[in-house]
């Protein structure tokens, strides 16, 4: 398991609870090639994001966005959660 993957399940539950899981899946799929830019924005916003989320989760989000295979795996996890 990739180091940051242990956060994914928690993120999936939060997105489901907020009712935005399907929107996030759509955005991740639509902006796939731009996810690297999203990762850079997360890194730039880390000081602000660190106030609402632990630093290790912010870094994990950026890493997931940097790696297309990880992004696809997270999308798959979100879809599986939708079926349960």
What is the average pLDDT across 35-62? 91
Check if the beta carbon of residue 78 is closer than 8 Å to that of residue 12: yes
> Distance (Å, rounded) from C-alpha 4 to C-alpha 17?
21
Computed over its alpha carbons, how large is the radius of gyration of the chain?
12
pTM confidence score: 0.84
Mean confidence (pLDDT) of the chain: 89
- pLDDT tens track for 7-27: 999 999 999 999 999 999 999
Please state the rounded mean pLDDT for residues 54-73.
93
Burial of 83 (0-12, 13-18, 19+ CB in 10 A): exposed
């Amino acid at each position: 398991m990739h180091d940051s993957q242990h956060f994914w399940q928690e993120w999936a539950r939060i997105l489901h609870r907020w009712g935005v899981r399907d929107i996030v899946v759509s955005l991740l799929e639509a902006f796939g090639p731009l996810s690297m830019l999203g990762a850079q924005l997360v890194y730039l916003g880390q000081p602000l994001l660190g106030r609402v989320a632990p630093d290790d989760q912010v870094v994990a989000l950026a890493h997931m966005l940097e790696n297309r295979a990880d992004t696809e795996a997270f999308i798959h996890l979100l879809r599986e959660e939708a079926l349960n």
